[in-house]
């Protein structure tokens, strides 16, 4: 690392902007940003304009000398980092999850049912009991739950509990009855109704089968949706996230965002991926991208759904699952439909972002990009594969060759480490969660969390990327440790490279002069602490465009 000194460009920027600026100088800090080569640049003084929201200068005291009359703020020795960017999350889902029963900590089916029953007792006005976060892989039996225990606790109200990855759901008999799901119900394409030996639904629905039930859940009102979004915004800013890519926005959500932007009520930056399953897709593509000179709300990409998830055996694999021979997973969008939607999106000039977890889906999507997109579309489109979780080693170089960005979530590896070998076998792990393989070939990883599938805290992701361990420092030495990233690489994936994945790397992510003054102050120098403690980092303040949006209670 090196101490940052202003370039000729930044000095010219200072000279030309100083007369009209409303500058603030933050001093007594340990600042980290990125230089023009993507390397770490350190600074002790940081000047920004709190009216235009732009960075003016950074470096030592002499670098901000032109602003000696500016408002001075003492950073009290805190560490300053670029505002963190989550490259793949679900904002509305997060907000909703904050107001539902959270089953992430459940250690058994019985405990999960007890949590649901307690929640139902505390929310007697709820028509439906909704929750999320169960993960049967972490339970002693490692078996899918069923409706029996739920029915014993809650008979009079429908219960619907989404698995942690969002690719399976668990219902009681009341919910199945309302949805008309019984022994005669046929599995929909891209979905599965889990059944007992007699063919009766057990209560668990996989991927597209979930839609049979979810269409019965009452639609959120506009007021409920806005309340959920506000809860999510507050939560993200408290974690140091100043910008997030929202992976799959429907028409109602889009309209809420547009109204919030019009009313200047978006406290952080939203880069929206329009949902390919929404019936308004063709109209959106015809209307063209939604751009914003202030980068507060942008919608220029489409999220297309490829397969399911590994934990529910819905990820589509080239060879069968090692722990369930004969099963290869599911295509949530059938290949012919996937091809048609990708072509539609590419031809409309939108960034095309495809969910692909299994190695078969990753290969299929790479093949389609190669077949459907021109060389220019590939070089300029910054198209993405969301998750790129299980990739055949021979397909990893194709990401670089085709200019496809892997949008990956580091905590998926530490969450899946106890299950992935069972699902895949040892050989296929060579291309699993392969961050360093991507970075070494020059691919820029768009990092995120996939909240609320995982917890949104970006320092959990940075820790996972650097150590390949969970928060109990297991396994010793890291899981598949050859895929560890350096701290610089991990931080870059949550800042500058995530911005690149949204065409915003020239305006945010590095804290260089002229960029948006999106920054956070944290409680430790992450470059000087033991890597295993990175996940414990706490955010004291979050700033967006030179305005403080969050301050922790001290």
Task: Encode pLDDT of 295-352 as tens digits.
Answer: 999 999 999 999 999 988 999 999 999 999 999 999 999 999 999 999 999 999 999 9
Return the closest-CA partner of residue 176 out of 159, 199, 196: 159
> Cα separation of 339 and 346, whole Å?
11
Are 191 and 210 spatial neighbours (Cβ–Cβ below 8 Å)?
yes
Q: In this structure, what is the dihedral angle of CA atoms 144, 148, 152, 158, given to the nearest 10 degrees? A: 80
- What is the chain's mean pLDDT, rounded? 94
Q: Which of 69-73, 110-114, 124-128, 140-144 has the lowest mean pLDDT?
A: 124-128
| Res 9: pLDDT | 35
DSSP H helices, 130-215, are 147-153, 173-179, 210-214
> Cα separation of 79 and 525, whole Å?
5
| SS3 per residue for 389-448 | CECCCCCHHHHHHCCCEEEECHHHHHHHHHHHHHHHCCHHHHHECCHHHHHHCCCCCEEC
pLDDT in tens, 185-210: 999 999 999 999 999 999 999 999 99
Paired tokens of 464? 């996972």
Indicate whether 76 pLDDT > 90.
yes
- pTM of this prediction? 0.87
Indicate whether 5 pLDDT > 70.
no
Return the closest-CA partner of residue 317 out of 359, 356, 354: 359
What are the phi and psi torsion angles at 113 (to 5°)?
Answer: -65, -40
Indicate whether 18 pLDDT > 90.
no
Return the closest-CA partner of residue 499 out of 361, 295, 363: 295
Per-residue pLDDT band for 6 (boundaries 50, 70, 90) equals very low
Q: What angle do CA 130, 134, 138 make, to 5 degrees?
A: 170
Composition of the chain by helix, strand, coil, percent to 5: 35, 25, 40
**Helices then strands (H, E): number in the chain?**
18, 25
Please give the average per-residue pLDDT across 70-81, as a whole number.
97
Share of the chain above pLDDT 90, in %: 91
Indicate whether 363 pLDDT > 70.
yes
CA distances from 426 to 319, 323, 480, 483, 485 (A): 13, 12, 11, 15, 21
> Cα separation of 75 and 26, whole Å?
6
| Res 346: pLDDT | 98
Hey, CA dihedral for 436, 437, 442, 444, is it positive or negative? negative
Radius of gyration for the alpha carbons in the chain, expressed in angstroms and rounded? 24
Paired tokens of 508? 């945010």
Return the closest-CA partner of residue 423 out of 316, 319, 321: 321
More confident residue, 9 or 470: 470
pLDDT in tens, 28-68: 999 999 999 999 999 999 999 999 999 999 999 999 999 99
Indicate whether 14 pLDDT > 80.
no
Per-residue pLDDT band for 21 (boundaries 50, 70, 90) equals low
What single DSSP character describes residue 290?
A: B
Indicate whether 1 pLDDT > 50.
no
> Cα separation of 225 and 218, whole Å?
13
pLDDT in tens, 22-33: 899 999 999 999
């Amino acid at each position: 690392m090196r101490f940052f000194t202003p370039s000729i460009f930044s000095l010219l920027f200072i000279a030309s902007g100083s007369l009209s600026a409303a500058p603030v100088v933050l001093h007594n800090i340990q600042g980290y940003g990125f230089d023009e080569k993507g390397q770490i640049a350190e600074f002790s003084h940081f000047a920004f304009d709190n009216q235009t929201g732009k960075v003016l200068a950074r470096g030592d005291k002499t670098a901000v000398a032109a602003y000696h009359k500016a408002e001075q703020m003492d950073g009290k020795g805190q560490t300053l980092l670029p505002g963190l960017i989550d490259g793949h999350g679900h904002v509305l889902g997060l907000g909703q999850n904050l107001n539902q029963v959270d089953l992430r900590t459940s250690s058994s089916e019985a405990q999960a049912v007890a949590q649901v029953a307690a929640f139902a007792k505390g929310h007697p006005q709820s028509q439906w009991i909704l929750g999320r976060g169960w993960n049967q892989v972490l339970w002693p039996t490692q078996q899918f739950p069923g409706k029996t225990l739920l029915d014993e606790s809650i008979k009079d109200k429908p219960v619907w509990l989404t698995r942690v990855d969002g690719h399976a759901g668990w219902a009681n008999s009341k919910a199945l009855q309302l949805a008309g799901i019984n022994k005669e119900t046929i599995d929909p394409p891209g979905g599965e109704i889990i059944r007992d030996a007699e063919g009766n639904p057990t209560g668990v629905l996989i991927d597209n089968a979930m839609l049979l039930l979810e269409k019965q859940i009452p639609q959120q009102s506009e007021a409920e949706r806005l309340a959920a979004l506000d809860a999510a915004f507050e939560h993200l800013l408290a974690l140091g996230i100043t910008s997030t890519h929202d992976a799959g926005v429907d028409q109602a959500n889009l309209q809420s965002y547009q109204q919030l932007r019009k009313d200047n009520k978006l406290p952080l930056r939203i880069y929206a991926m329009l949902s390919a399953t929404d019936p308004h897709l063709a109209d959106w593509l015809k209307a063209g991208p939604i751009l914003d000179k202030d980068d507060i709300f942008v919608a220029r990409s489409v999220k297309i759904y490829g397969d399911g998830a590994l934990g529910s055996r819905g990820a589509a694999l080239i060879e069968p699952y090692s722990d369930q021979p004969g099963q290869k997973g599911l295509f949530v969008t059938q290949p012919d439909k996937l091809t048609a939607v990708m072509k539609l999106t590419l031809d409309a000039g939108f960034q095309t972002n495809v969910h692909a977890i299994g190695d078969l889906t990753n290969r299929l999507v790479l093949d389609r990009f190669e077949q459907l997109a021109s060389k220019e579309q590939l070089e300029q489109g910054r198209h993405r594969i969301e998750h790129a979780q299980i990739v055949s080693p021979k397909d990893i170089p194709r990401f670089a060759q085709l200019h496809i960005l892997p949008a990956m979530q580091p905590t998926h590896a530490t969450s899946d480490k106890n299950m992935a070998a069972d699902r895949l076998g040892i050989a296929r792990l060579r291309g699993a969660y392969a961050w360093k393989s991507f970075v070494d070939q020059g691919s820029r990883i768009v990092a995120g969390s996939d909240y609320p599938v995982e917890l949104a805290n970006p320092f959990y992701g940075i820790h996972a990327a650097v150590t390949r361990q969970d928060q109990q420092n297991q396994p010793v030495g890291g899981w598949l440790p050859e895929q560890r990233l350096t701290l610089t690489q991990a931080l870059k994936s949550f800042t500058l490279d995530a911005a690149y994945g949204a065409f915003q790397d020239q305006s945010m992510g590095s804290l260089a002069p002229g960029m948006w003054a999106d920054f956070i102050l944290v409680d430790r120098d992450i470059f000087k602490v033991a890597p295993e403690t990175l996940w414990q980092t706490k955010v004291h303040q979050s700033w967006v465009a030179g305005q403080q949006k969050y301050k922790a209670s001290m």
